Amino acid sequence: MRICIIIFCTLVLLNNAQFIETSRYYDGSKLTVNFQNVNPGEYYKNVTSPIYPNFTVEVTEDGKNQLTLRILNPLDTFEIPHKFPFPYTKSDSSHGEYDYSVNEDGNFFSVSRYDGSPVFTITNATVLSLLYSELHTQLLSEDIFGFGERRLHSFRIPKGEFSIWNHDFWEFDTQVGFSLYGAHPVILQKYNSQYHIVLLRSSRPMTLERTDDELIYRVTGGQLEFKIFIGRQNPKELIKQYHQYLNGWELHPFWSSGWHQSRWGYENSTVLKNVVRNYKEAKIPLEVIWTDLDYMEERKDFTLNEDNYPREDIQKITDRTKPDGVHWVPIVDPGIAVDSDCGRDLVKSGAYIKSNRQTKTPYVGVVWPEEVYFTDFNHPKAYELWHKCHKDWFTNYQIAPSGIWIDMNELANFRDGEQVNGSKLNDEIFELKDLPWDAMGTVTLEGHTIAIDALHEGKGVYFNGSTTYIPELDLHNFNGFLEQIEQRKLLQAIQNKTLIFQLSRSSIFGSGRFSAIWFGDNGSTWAWLRSSVYQMFNFNLFGIPFVGDDICGFNKDTTPQLCARWIQLGAFYPFARDHNAFGQKDQEPYLYEITKISAQKSIQLRYEFLKYYYYLFISQRDSTLQAGSGTIVDPLWFKYQSDPQTFNIETQFQLGNIIVNPVVDEQTDESLNYTELQFYVPLGAYWVSFENGQRIPNGWNTINRTFTDNAYLALEAGSVIQHSNATGVMRLREMSSDIDLIVVLNELGQASGSYMSINNYDDEETILQRCWNDQTTCIRNISVRTFKDSLQFTNAKAKNDNSEEINIKNIIIYRNQQIFRVEINVSSFTQSWQINF
């Protein structure tokens, strides 16, 4: 046994505590090390935050490239469950290909690769107390990403201190407390051309400070658990393993890939009908119309203001048996009006978040309908209540939304903290003044949300522990996650579908399995436009790839040039929705000439590649999870990391074999109707222009893009890409089942790729049965090679093929810096064919 003393010092050099190692035990896959405090009774700043009397370090080998570090204390009882629907380690009996140590060589903890290359090192744990812990870790390089959700001016994490606490806030992160709606305390780091991921698996408020040589974790106490993934040179493979730990992400229905139009301020259904009609007259595709608070009676959930939104109008707008019918998605907030049928049902059920000031009394917040209750989605009766409120809403008003938009679920609250006077009822549950430190700084943990001592069910559906209640301090970051689970279940039950669509603002690690996410409120500025690309990269890392930003901006008035460029970029978001705020200038794309032309061209271009985009999701099906795993939208360096310049390219992105190069900078010279687009082709890459087939030189390129040009697309040589004719398509159901194949020959005259062989993408049961299950696939693989004066095609099916026969109408060939279109009308079941030049 190795005995050693570790000295812990607080930030203010007070309350020094000495711990001695008392024992260690290794059972072949887990190391356990126990420590004892030789100066018990000390505390950190407040007597409410005693230094641990003892603690245990557990290191569990989770397979050849994963391990878990846990720092466990006897003072905390709350723990995130290690089972579905929460992230958990899947079984892997492989021996770990890494070395690790606890309390050795002057470090608290260290893990490295077999070659000695460091991965994650906790150099010192300066404080370990009930309500504050501080861990100093080694910063290995500046190539570090993640730790969100927040708005930054770069994909990399810059120097500074950054909070995590789900928060109704929309500005760029310039100080502690400026975190946004999601909790993703995960980092991806590159060192010596290899990658690793570290997740701090905690729901407590925290900050991460990046200095010149350290990453410093500051956490509001709790059990500390780090999940570590050790990768090699391929970041996509590593991120896929992280997604598997998160339980993967769920597939969305195809219609939700279409173009969406929304705004807060569609005051009545006449306006809504005019929007749909104006899209049609402008010849701009539209798949989904959204309604914000405007459709409600007094802004109350589960109502319909039939003076402004007669049910007959909603039914007509959403009648998709008619050519003009669209999908409809209304907003639902978690704050249930006190004076509403659902609010009264909520009180009867007892499934509400409770005040810690009045016994068993609902916590009262203030949101859009004034005073509201909040559903406690951990309560055993929450699902029944939430299902009833939705079912009654749909039935009473005879409406059938295609999906639901769940907003404000951080939880947002228009007054800070608890407003009921009086002492707290549960002394063991801490209130804000008990904390020795506030991870949100001057914003405070209760800024624009409910009190941290509000009470959730302790013996509930998802968290079932030893205490009667669980405080908001522990469950705050899970509020949106639990709502996503219950909302998904009830939509599946009511719609009798497996593939459903819901959009959430709040998220946490694991949310991708249950909901799509948008980036929340943004601003109509060029900085917000650029940041949306970084956000796509981050959420693909976080395991939520079906994401997007409010196109043209939510807050502030947009400009025609900005909106046009945003439409061109947004046409390649996974989720594409134009949305803006009440009181802002209208920004529907048909309102300005340059936005109208941009939308006509860019949305049609989106639709041409939409089946390929959907294929990218389908191709990431993970049979071990019955869900998807892996990234969809990638920065260039994911593939071209041998060129160091790609690590500085943050506004170009890759979708499979398509590279999107959008204009993200304003043209300030009013005499010009174009912008110089500078984009980079990595060394060793062979890209051709989608527009003219010309090979694009490696290195920096500059071309002029008018305000109405779509985003500049490059195609990777050697690829086969599924394509559709979207000319004149206003609704996705109008698309032909015929497909084209774009063949981009490389220097050897070869190409390969895959495509989905499915007739009707709106037939969700067919998609599930043929494409998204454990036994079968609808994906077919195709390879092309040049032989003398012909192209020879080999069309292979998998052993478990369950595809449908479709017509391959055209082959679009990129060869010798030219584009050739050949109509062939070949069955997708044809095994081989050739085209003569």
Cα gap 47→40, rounded to integer Å? 13
Cα gap 248→512, rounded to integer Å? 7
Alpha-carbon distance values, 204 to 183, 443, 455, 805 (Å) = 10, 16, 15, 52
Long-range Cβ contacts of 596-599 (<8 Å, 24+ apart):
596/282, 596/284, 597/708, 598/564, 598/565, 598/567, 598/568, 598/707, 598/708, 598/709, 598/710, 599/282, 599/284, 599/567
Confirm if 293 and 368 have CB atoms less than 8 A apart: yes
521 is catalytic: yes
Cβ atoms < 10 Å from Cβ of 398: 11
Which of 471, 493, 565, 576 shows the shortest CA–CA distance to 525?
565
3-class state of residue 598 by DSSP: helix
3-class state of residue 649 by DSSP: coil
3-class state of residue 634 by DSSP: strand
Cβ atoms < 10 Å from Cβ of 141: 9
Looking up tokens 């049902």 gives: 345
Cα gap 825→482, rounded to integer Å? 49
Question: How many CA atoms, within 13 angstroms, populate the side-chain half-sphere of residue 747?
Answer: 5
Cα gap 409→167, rounded to integer Å? 9
Looking up tokens 């968290």 gives: 463
801 is catalytic: no
Question: How many CA atoms, within 13 angstroms, populate the side-chain half-sphere of residue 38?
Answer: 11
Pairing between strand 182-191 and 194-200? antiparallel
Cα gap 446→575, rounded to integer Å? 31
149 preceded by a cis bond (ω within 30 of 0):
yes
Segment holding 276, helix H or strand E: helix 269-281
Confirm if 67 and 98 have CB atoms less than 8 A apart: yes
Looking up tokens 């009766």 gives: 381
Q: Is 699 left (phi over 0), alpha (psi -120 to 50) or beta?
A: left
Cα gap 432→449, rounded to integer Å? 12
Distance of alpha carbon 765 from its chain centroid, rounded?
A: 25
Instruction: Extract the tokens encoding 214.
Output: 């350290």
Cα gap 794→783, rounded to integer Å? 5
804 is catalytic: no
Distance of alpha carbon 370 from its chain centroid, rounded?
A: 30
Cα gap 494→477, rounded to integer Å? 27
* Rounded (10°) angle between helices 610-618 and 593-608: 50
Sheet holding 818-827, edge to edge: 818-827, 807-815, 739-744, 719-723, 750-756, 779-787, 790-796, 832-836
Which of 166, 211, 213 shows the shortest CA–CA distance to 439?
166
Cα gap 726→571, rounded to integer Å? 14
Which member of 134, 173, 474, 521 is catalytic?
A: 521
Cα gap 243→336, rounded to integer Å? 33
3-class state of residue 633 by DSSP: strand
| Residue 815 DSSP symbol | E
Which member of 345, 410, 549, 588 is catalytic?
A: 410
Confirm if 379 and 460 have CB atoms less than 8 A apart: yes
Structural Rg of the chain based on CA atoms: 27
253 preceded by a cis bond (ω within 30 of 0):
no
Which member of 21, 62, 250, 407 is catalytic?
A: 407
Cα gap 85→486, rounded to integer Å? 11
Instruction: Tell me which residues are annotated as active site.
Output: 407, 410, 521
